[in-house]
Structure 1
Amino acid sequence: MSVKENAITKVLATPVYVPCTLEIGPISKPAKLSGLVVELETADGLAGHGFTAITDEEIVAAAINEVVAPNLKGRDALSREGISEMLYWLLTPRGQTGYASHAISAIDIALWDLAGKRLNQPVWRLIGGARREVTTYTTFGFGALDRDELAAAARHLAGAGHRRLKMVVGQHALARRDEPRPLESVIEEDIRRVRAVREAVGDEVEIFIDANCSLDAYHALRLARAIADCNVSFFEEPLKGNDIPGLAEFRRQASMPVAAGQNEGQLFRYRDMLVAGAVDILQPNVCIGGGYTGGMKAAALAQAHGITIDNGGAFPFHNMHLHAGMANGGLVEWHLVSVSMCQQLFKSLPQRSGDQLVLPEAPGLGFELDQDGLRDIGRLPTSFGKGKG
């Protein structure tokens, strides 16, 4: 295989909008998620795909198709580090994050998929092959469930063998406080919801909570202290903006481990979290924080500080490769809505066995885009060659 044959010839980014259903036993709730699919192709016809989400996908697609694609064509698809560095200077030359990190992540994942297919190895083994399976935790406790439904869903999942359950708290408290929606009332209901889940599942099931950066320090700490006896395994992203000094102080005062990092787009942010002692668990997400190239560097920083990484921010089928590849890989988030989304976008996805997810042996990501499913969703073109780039 020559460099010429491995030269990137096609680049296409397309946003997708996927109606989903949250189904937990007798409970069924409509949901929706959007994301962005990237497809790359080399001169000899080899194709790879990447993904990002939790962003404004239309903007990221435009950035890739209009700005990134002309700078990728002709480059060696195996030059992942070189391309990552080029994209940094192209899109984030002064340390910006936001949309750029999503674009870089989707491209990088596609490059690793191509590399795995080129070398006939799964991505997790190329990263390091630390383990063949990963342990999952199940994110189920969304705001769409009222307190009784939340407890019933937790009870059902625990009965089905889910031993680690995550629920949302905060419920966009700061963003919606002028509705009016007093933060005090949000916290009081959160206290009742966490206690309802703990009572529903007993002491043998772990509980995790996630505020999605929606609280200030006072209310986050008030919540943490009020549910201290519920034995919460970690409090994820309690503070607005992942304020690093604030997280460090919160960690010193809270009675539970602190996790953060899923939405970070620059390596120095992970470094600063670790140096400040702001987290017990670092949560790089390959779909957001620079793909596998960025995720491996974040994991190495965490390892140097004696910190485990866990997957926050959903999308287990992409993040499982990082956690199986790295020695300090940790829990992978089995986010029920994002799993439903991925099942409509991809085929040959691995299946959970209990709380374990066995990594695929197929090369690259180990699963492929479902082109028929993508066309049914209605946001992707009917052929790969259409569109700019």
Structure 2
Amino acid sequence: MTASFLDLTSATETSSVNESHFAALRRGEASTDSISSVKLSLVSLPLAAPISDAKVLTGRQKPLLDIAFLFAEIRTEAGFEGVGYSYSKRAGGPGQYVHAKEIAEELLGEDPNDIQRLWTKLVWAGASVGRSGLSTQAVAAIDIALWDLKAKRAGLPLAKLLGAHRDSVQCYNTSGGYLSMSIDEVLDNTRASVERGIGGIKIKVGQPDTKIDLKRVQAIREALGDEFPMMVDANQQWNRSTAIRMGRALEDYGLTWIEEPLDAYDSEGHADLARELATPIATGEMLTSVAEHWDLIRNRSVDFMQPDAPRVGGITPFLKIMSLGEQARIRMAPHFAMEIHLHLAAAYEIDPWVEHFEWLEPLFNEKLEISGGRMIVPNRPGLGFSLSEQAREWALETETFGEAQD
């Protein structure tokens, strides 16, 4: 069939619009730099001893022996460099690394300042495997590196680039309170954390025998005193009836929050607990998208939301979660990744907490300062950390895309 004049005109106009659209996406006069190389590394961080929480005691997972990290190091023609990371526990780390390698070349020649556009570009490059979960966790390492680079270009700590509400954040320790540790070990770790200046202590619960949980909570509360901030974490292993019974039994201990009492995706159950219990409810660390966090927020399922920047896809989506949380007046306590979350928590309007894990310290040349129960925002540009030689020795695989500069 012969095309009509109107059909040909429409096709010509559509082609012109498409060309104009793609021209708008190309680098223009406002671009100030371009990405010259992307270096990816798969790093395995060994733990000093196997770690178990309630997921191990219920047979759903094996003890944690090491943590896989995906590091991204991005360099530009102007000589700036940014470092970011994502991670996975027990499984998924190699998958993140492979996916990042598949999309890394999409960055070459791009202006590193256009972070939101680059995040969208990378997510769509791998959209066949979804826009949450492992695929966006691979993007997270790159996104975080771009934010690190942008803050370094500005000569500012990331918290200051975003606009800080405070120069230090309340911090609590988790790594000393696992179920694989005896009560005496947890007490020793608690004393060491308090002496170091940590401002709160979280211990794991979720034993098949709930009386053991209560005995451990009682011992730690007595050691800390009535006023010292204390949290417990059930790692999603209670059902709704157990959670309400345990929540009521724990009311007398003055806990700052009960964490992950139910399955991470049970927003309705968490909302019921938040209404029924005086103790605040915290959850969110296992969620991998802005939409999943919005479900928690709009249903009033949490008193403390606990997003994880590497898990949700980086700092770019994390900032959207922060905006939603501030609008709903929900407090925040980001999960793990303290080098990243310290800056984000400092930029959150409502006084937050940040989680301390000394496990991560060997990965970096710099250490975060803790004083008076708070973690201090470093005055170094960007995130304020650089990879240690030990981290590079732990690298299982490394690959560079583009031309690395000396």
Q: For 1:84-233, list aligned pairs within 5 A.
A: 84-92=119-127, 96-139=131-174, 140-170=176-206, 183=208, 185=209, 187-233=210-256
Which amino acid in structure 2 is aligned with residue 144 of structure 1?
S
Partners of 2:192 and 2:80 in 1: CA distance? 44
Partners of 1:284 and 1:334 in 2: CA distance? 15
Cα shift at 1:213: 2.1
Which amino acid in structure 2 is aligned with residue 334 of structure 1?
H
2:396 counterpart of 1:362? no
Cα shift at 1:331: 0.7
- CA shift digits 1:55-77 (9 cap, x unpaired): 511000000011x2122222211
Task: Name the SS for the 1:284 alignment partner.
Answer: coil
Q: For 1:293-312, list aligned pairs within 5 A.
A: 293-312=316-335
* Cα 1:247/1:130, change in 2 over 3 Å: same
Structure 2 gaps of 5+ residues are 1-27, 50-63
Which amino acid in structure 1 is aligned with residue 332 of structure 2?
I
Instruction: Give the ranges of 4+ consecutive aligned residues of structure 1 lying more than 4 Å apart after TM superposition.
Output: 1-5, 92-96, 383-387
Partners of 2:344 and 2:396 in 1: CA distance? 29
Task: Name the SS for the 2:216 alignment partner.
Answer: helix
Cα shift at 1:94: 8.7
2:356 aligned to 323, 334, 340, which one? 334
* Cα 1:92/1:328, change in 2 over 3 Å: farther
Which amino acid in structure 1 is aligned with residue 356 of structure 2?
W
- CA shift digits 1:180-205 (9 cap, x unpaired): xxx4x2x2321221112112222121
* Cα 1:347/1:160, change in 2 over 3 Å: closer
Which amino acid in structure 2 is aligned with residue 9 of structure 1?
S
State TM-score, norm by structure 2.
0.81
CA contact 1:287–1:318 (8 Å) conserved in 2: no
1:281 aligned to 304, 309, 314, which one? 304
2:260 aligned to 214, 237, 240, which one? 237
* Cα 1:74/1:280, change in 2 over 3 Å: same
Partners of 1:2 and 1:114 in 2: CA distance? 20
* Cα 1:91/1:168, change in 2 over 3 Å: farther
Task: Name the SS for the 1:240 alignment partner.
Answer: coil
Question: Which position in structure 1 is the counterpart of 2:342?
Answer: 320
Partners of 1:368 and 1:161 in 2: CA distance? 24
After the TM superposition, which of the residue ranges 150-159 and 322-331 deviates more from structure 2? 150-159
CA contact 2:105–2:402 (8 Å) conserved in 1: no
Structure 1 gaps of 5+ residues are 23-29, 172-182
Partners of 2:197 and 2:75 in 1: CA distance? 41
Question: Which position in structure 2 is the counterpart of 1:177?
Answer: none
Partners of 1:146 and 1:20 in 2: CA distance? 18
1:263 aligned to 278, 286, 304, which one? 286
CA contact 2:264–2:286 (8 Å) conserved in 1: no
Partners of 2:246 and 2:302 in 1: CA distance? 18
Which amino acid in structure 2 is aligned with residue 348 of structure 1?
E
Cα shift at 1:283: 1.4
Which amino acid in structure 1 is aligned with residue 77 of structure 2?
A
Question: Which position in structure 1 is the counterpart of 2:45?
Answer: 18
Task: Name the SS for the 2:45 alignment partner.
Answer: strand
Cα shift at 1:375: 3.0
Cα shift at 1:386: 10
* Cα 1:278/1:373, change in 2 over 3 Å: same
CA contact 2:40–2:400 (8 Å) conserved in 1: no
Partners of 1:41 and 1:386 in 2: CA distance? 10
CA contact 2:132–2:313 (8 Å) conserved in 1: no
Cα shift at 1:125: 0.9
Larger Rg: 2
Partners of 2:244 and 2:293 in 1: CA distance? 23
Task: Name the SS for the 1:190 alignment partner.
Answer: helix
1:6 aligned to 3, 11, 33, which one? 33
CA contact 1:5–1:42 (8 Å) conserved in 2: no
2:295 aligned to 260, 263, 272, which one? 272
Question: Which position in structure 1 is the counterpart of 2:73?
Answer: 39
* Cα 1:94/1:252, change in 2 over 3 Å: farther
Which amino acid in structure 2 is aligned with residue 43 of structure 1?
E
CA contact 1:195–1:227 (8 Å) conserved in 2: no
Task: Name the SS for the 1:41 alignment partner.
Answer: strand
- CA shift digits 1:250-307 (9 cap, x unpaired): 2222331011112222111121111111001111222222322112111110111111
- CA shift digits 1:332-377 (9 cap, x unpaired): 1112xxx232x2211123321232222122211112112x222332
Cα shift at 1:3: 6.7
Partners of 1:159 and 1:32 in 2: CA distance? 27
